[in-house]
Amino acid sequence: MRKALFSFLAAAALSVASGMAQQAADTVYRFTHGPYLQGLTAQGVKVYFTTSARGVSAVEVRKKGSAEVRRVVDYVDGLVQANNTRNAIPVGGLEPNTLYEYRLSSVPIKRFRLSNNVYGDTITTPWYTFRTDNPAATSCSFVTLSDMHDDAAKYGRLLDRMPVGETDRVFLLGDMLSNFSRPDQPYPSYIDTSVTRFARSIPFVAVRGNHETRGRYARLYGNYVYRPRGKFYGTYRLGDTFIIVLDTGEDKPDTHIDYSRITAFDAYRQEQVAWLRRVVRSEAFRQARHRIVLLHIPPVRRGENRRASAHGPAMVDSLYMPILNREPIDLMIGGHLHEFVYRAPRDGENNFPILLNDNACATLVSVDPAAVFVRTVNQEGKVIFEKKFSK
Phi, psi of 54, deg, nearest 5: -70, 140
DSSP assignments along 110-179, one per residue: EE--SSS-EE---EEPPPEEEE---TT-S-EEEEEE---TT-HHHHHHHHHTTTGGGSSEEEE-S-SSS-
Whether residue 259 sits in one domain with residue 219: yes
Whether residue 202 sits in one domain with residue 96: no
* Contact residues for 128 (Cβ-Cβ < 8 A; gap 6+): 35, 101, 102, 103, 200, 201
Residue 319 in contact with residue 273, Cβ under 8 Å? yes
Whether residue 319 sits in one domain with residue 251: yes
234-250: average pLDDT? 97
166-187: average pLDDT? 97
- CATH (domain of 122): 2.60.40.10
Give the Cα separation of 209 and 226 in Å (integer): 15
What is the DSSP pairing of strand 82-91 with strand 123-124?
unpaired
68-92: average pLDDT? 97
Residue spans of alpha helices (H) in 186-345: 186, 192-194, 265-281, 283-287, 311-319, 321-324
Give the Cα separation of 238 and 6 in Å (integer): 70
Whether residue 183 sits in one domain with residue 65: no
Share of the chain above pLDDT 90, in %: 86
Q: What is the 3-state secondary structure (H, E, C) of 285-307?
A: HHHCCEEEEECCCCCCCCCCCCC
Single-letter residue type at 35 = P
Whether residue 148 sits in one domain with residue 122: no
Whether residue 145 sits in one domain with residue 119: no
Domain-embedded: residue 26? no
Whether residue 200 sits in one domain with residue 104: no
Residue 16: which pLDDT band, with cuts at 50, 70 and 90?
Answer: very low
Domain-embedded: residue 24? no
Domain-embedded: residue 11? no
Give the Cα separation of 323 and 89 in Å (integer): 36
Residue 15: which pLDDT band, with cuts at 50, 70 and 90?
Answer: low
Whether residue 335 sits in one domain with residue 289: yes
Residue 259: which pLDDT band, with cuts at 50, 70 and 90?
Answer: confident
Domain-embedded: residue 14? no
pLDDT tens-digit readout, 108-130: 999 998 788 999 999 999 999 99
Domain-embedded: residue 13? no
Domain-embedded: residue 232? yes
Number of domains composing the chain: 2
Residue 134 in contact with residue 96, Cβ under 8 Å? yes
* Contact residues for 166 (Cβ-Cβ < 8 A; gap 6+): 141
Domain-embedded: residue 16? no
Give the Cα separation of 389 and 226 in Å (integer): 30
Of the residues 90, 109, 131, which one is the last residue of a structural domain? 131
Residue 288 in contact with residue 329, Cβ under 8 Å? no
Whether residue 119 sits in one domain with residue 266: no
Mean pLDDT, the chain, integer? 92
pLDDT of residue 115: 82
CA 297 vs. chain centroid, Å, equals 17
The three-point CA angle 337-341-346 to 5° equals 115
Give the Cα separation of 146 and 287 in Å (integer): 30
* Contact residues for 217 (Cβ-Cβ < 8 A; gap 6+): 180, 181, 182, 183, 185
Residue 296 in contact with residue 175, Cβ under 8 Å? yes
Of the residues 77, 97, 131, which one is the last residue of a structural domain? 131
User: Could you tell me the residue range of the domain that residue 191 belongs to?
Assistant: 140-390
60-83: average pLDDT? 96
Q: Give the predicted TM-score (pTM) of the model.
A: 0.91
Give the Cα separation of 301 and 317 in Å (integer): 6
CA 339 vs. chain centroid, Å, equals 22
Whether residue 231 sits in one domain with residue 160: yes
Whether residue 147 sits in one domain with residue 127: no
DSSP assignments along 242-253, one per residue: EEEE-----SS-
Of the residues 131, 161, 185, which one is the last residue of a structural domain? 131
Domain-embedded: residue 1? no
Give the Cα separation of 173 and 206 in Å (integer): 7
Whether residue 268 sits in one domain with residue 127: no
- CATH (domain of 148): 3.60.21.10
